[in-house]
């Protein structure tokens, strides 16, 4: 997803079952569209019945990280 220039996406957090993706400069509507496109693209690269589910857009959002 980070290699698709039209999305402009950057993964800021990920673990075994979730991803948080930053879409700088995108509107809420664009984020929903891109989120669905990313979920479809990831699903297409996995064997059935593996499916990535797009859940929500957090806008605005602050993520706190502990080191």
Residue 3 pLDDT class (50, 70, 90 cuts)? confident
In a domain, 67, yes or no: no
List Cβ neighbours of 24 (8 Å cut-off, separation of 6 or more).
8, 10
**Is residue 1 included in any domain, yes or no?**
yes
pLDDT tens digits along 6-54: 999 999 888 888 889 999 999 999 999 999 999 999 999 999 999 999 9
Q: Which domain holds residue 31?
A: 1-62
Is 7 a member of any domain? yes
Helical residues (DSSP H) of the chain, grouped into ranges = 28-44
**C-beta separation of 43 from 1 below 8 A:** no
Q: How confident is the model at residue 65 (pLDDT cuts 50, 70, 90)?
A: confident
Overall number of domains in the chain? 1
Look up the pTM and report it.
Answer: 0.83
């Amino acid at each position: 997803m980070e290699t698709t220039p039209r999305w402009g996406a950057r993964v800021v957090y990920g673990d075994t079952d979730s991803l948080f993706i930053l879409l700088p400069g995108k509107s809420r509507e664009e984020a929903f569209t891109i989120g669905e496109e990313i979920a479809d693209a990831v699903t297409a690269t996995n064997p059935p019945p593996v499916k990535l589910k797009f859940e929500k857009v957090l806008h605005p959002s602050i993520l706190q990280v502990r080191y």
